[in-house]
Amino acid sequence: MSNIPYGKQWIDEDDISAVVECLRGDWITQGPAIEQYEQALCEKTGAKYAVAVSSGTAALHLAAIASGVMPGTSAITSPITFVASANCALYAGGTVRFADVDSDTGLMRVDEIEGILTEQARRGKPVKLIVPVDFAGQMCDLPAIKKLAEAQGAKVVEDAAHSFGATYNCGGQVFKSASCAHSDMAILSFHPVKHITTGEGGAVTTNDSKLAQTLRELRTHGIHRDPARLTRPAEGPWYYEQGALGFHYRITDMQCALGLSQLRKLDAFLSRRREIAARYDEAFSREPLSRVLKPLRKVEGLAHAYHLYVVQVSEPDLAQRSERRKELFRHLRDRGIFCQVHYIPLTWQPYYQNNLGTSELDCPGANEYYAGALSLPMYPKLSEAEQVTVIEAIAQWASNR
């Protein structure tokens, strides 16, 4: 059997045809597929506006600027995420604080956010941005976070890179991930390991027309043609002005053609992910696996999107837990099963230690989470036979201990 990665894309002939058709047409960069894709993203998420960009990281960067992050301000995010969730605020000149997570979910804690908001206000470095990370495919308490943010004049940008298609409950109502019902903006990533792919790619969603306009202009150099804001009368149809310092973060028509084709399969992909999760859940509820490993805790009232299926090695001592995890990682790798660890706490990264003064001691919840965590193969194309191979290999490791 060939190697089994922790995640990968699923591209069919119809996806390939969609891209080829685009290549044969008049537009390969800035054409009609971009707006169609943005419209389709609005329909899927329930948000009013979607601005598609070149990556999830670009989406975070633009959202941080649009949130008002600048030198002298700060942002809060999770220590258990990809570095981009924190870097976005640094790109915009702000600083970052990390709010610790629950060790059994990897999700940022509301009381930790509250503590940091108060501290930053006292220090005169007001928080302009909170980036809750929907780790593995579950959401933090967005309604509570939004309430705290509003009281402090901060914006909430949901990092929904893991949760496309997930839902949560609030007051008896069901809300979708990236709908921005309890956030100002949300970001998605279309990297091949995420729920759907455009190669590289990302998007910001929002319900605020002004934010959408700002994001569109920042995506393309800060240039606009809005007659109401031109500083001199347009000299002709060619006339435009650069009002802000923007970037070239555009996505292409070819990528959006692929995205449109992929988006039609999102629901089918999600069902596959949930089926795979259910089989893992079943395996980890029985001996010998239940003795040595436990899946992350499921948050009540959520429909999980399972970007990742994370298990944690059960072992009271952190150092030993980490040893056992390494053993299991190697055991699986030697059998062609390539797991991953998501994520090394950001507080450990030398860049943040040297520039923000973080330390390995900062977030005990994140350390506790990290010590035993392992992301198992989880992607729609993973066959039942492959999953059985994975489970049997883990069981072999478990019974040898």
Ligand X SMILES: *Cc1c(COP(=O)(O)O)cnc(C)c1O
Residue 345 within binding range of ligand X, rule CB under 6 A: no
Three-state secondary structure call for residue 239? coil
Measuring CA to CA, which residue among 46, 1, 336 is closest to residue 165?
46
Using alpha carbons, select from 351, 336, 344, 398 the residue that is nearest to residue 370: 344
Q: Tell me how far, at minimum, the Cβ of 363 lies from ligand X, in Å.
A: 16
64 binds ligand X (CB under 6 A): no
What value does the CA radius of gyration of the chain take, rounded to a whole number of Å?
22
Q: How far is the CB of 400 from ligand X (least distance, A)?
A: 33
325-341 in b/e burial notation, b at 16+ Cβ within 10 A?
A: beebbebbeebebebbe
Among 43-51, 77-85, 122-130, 248-256, the segment contacting ligand X (CB under 6 A)? 77-85
Contacts of 334 (CB under 8 A, 6+ apart): none
CB 205 within 8 A of CB 188: yes
7 part of the interface to ligand X, by CB under 6 A: no
Candidates 84, 99, 276, 394; binder of ligand X (CB under 6 A) is 84
Query: Binding marks (x or -) toward ligand X, 194..233, rule CB under 6 A?
Result: --------x-------------------------------
Q: How far is the CB of 60 from ligand X (least distance, A)?
A: 6
Residue 85 or 261: the one with the smaller Cβ distance to ligand X is 85
Name which position in 55, 105, 252, 255 contacts ligand X (CB under 6 A): 55
Count residues binding ligand X (CB under 6 A): 14
6, 37, 49, 82: residue in contact with ligand X (rule CB under 6 A): 82
> Can you say whether the dihedral through the CA atoms of 176, 179, 183, 187 is positive or negative?
positive
Instruction: Assess contact for 144 and 50: CB atoms under 8 A.
Output: no
Bond before 309 cis per omega within 30 degrees: no
For ligand X, the closer of residues 46 and 199 by Cβ is: 199
Q: List, in sequence order, every residue forming a beta bridge with 241; answer none if it has no partner.
A: 224
Looking at beta carbons only, is 57 or 389 nearer to ligand X? 57
Please, which residue, 189 or 312, has the CB nearer to ligand X? 189
- Which residue number, 69 or 292, has a Cβ lying nearer to ligand X? 69
Cβ atoms of residues 96 and 90 within 8 Å: yes
* Residue 161 engages ligand X in binding (rule: CB under 6 A): yes
Among 15, 38, 141, 159, binds ligand X (CB under 6 A): 159
Alpha helices in 229-358 (DSSP H): 253-263, 266-284, 289-292, 318-333, 350-356
Q: Smallest distance from the beta carbon of 169 to ligand X, in angstroms?
A: 22
Closer of 81 and 347 to ligand X (Cβ)? 81
Cα-flanking dihedrals φ and ψ of residue 298, to 5°?
Answer: -90, 130
Residue closer to ligand X by CB (options 302, 391) is 302
Starting at the earlier edge strand, list the strands of the sheet with 167-170: 173-176, 167-170, 302-303
- Of 85, 138, 255, 375, the residue at the interface with ligand X (CB under 6 A) is 85
By CB under 6 A, name the binding residues for ligand X.
55-57, 81-82, 84-85, 133, 159, 161-162, 189, 191, 202
